[in-house]
Amino acid sequence: MSSTTTTTISGNLTRDPEIRYTRDGQATTSLGVAVNRRWQNRDSKEWEEATSFFDVVCWRELAENTALSLTKGMRVVVTGRLEQRSWETEEGDRRFKVEIVADEIGASLRFATADVHKVERQQPASDGDESGVDGMTLDEKISTGETVVAGA
């Protein structure tokens, strides 16, 4: 029996989200999140801090909306599951990496405000046209820098 544990982090993006597409056209976006922790040392009464860095991956509409909406430095909240993947280097060494596969990503409103717009999705026309309601494809929106923020 397999179980999935959900984890939530909030922190700042360490780089702009990077979107890619699989061979079959699935969008995937990767991003880095730095989570800062601050506490007071009981003995010295001095404030101490530490930063943890997490790699996050998201898929499909979440990947597209994340790539269109977020930039380096923004504070975000990420909820997802921890997943380990492995690969072999050209030298034959085995490498392992633990990532958060996101179910939800949102801008944190702790230190900022947001203007959220629901993305209307439209089925592609039968002639293979993949443009949305506004007549622009996702690739066109990305190339023009149009901002779209995921809605509920």
pLDDT digits (tens, 9 = 90+) for 101-144: 999 999 999 888 888 888 777 665 555 444 444 455 555 544 54
Q: Which ranges of 19-75 would DSSP assign to H, the alpha helix?
A: 60-69
Mean pLDDT, range 53-64, rounded to an integer? 96
Q: Could you tell me the pTM of the whole model?
A: 0.70
> The domain at 6-39+48-113 falls in which architecture?
Beta Barrel (2.40)
- Decide if 6 contacts 80 (C-beta within 8 A): yes
Spans of all domains in the chain? 6-39+48-113
Give per-residue pLDDT as tens, 12-48: 999 999 999 999 999 999 999 999 999 999 999 999 9
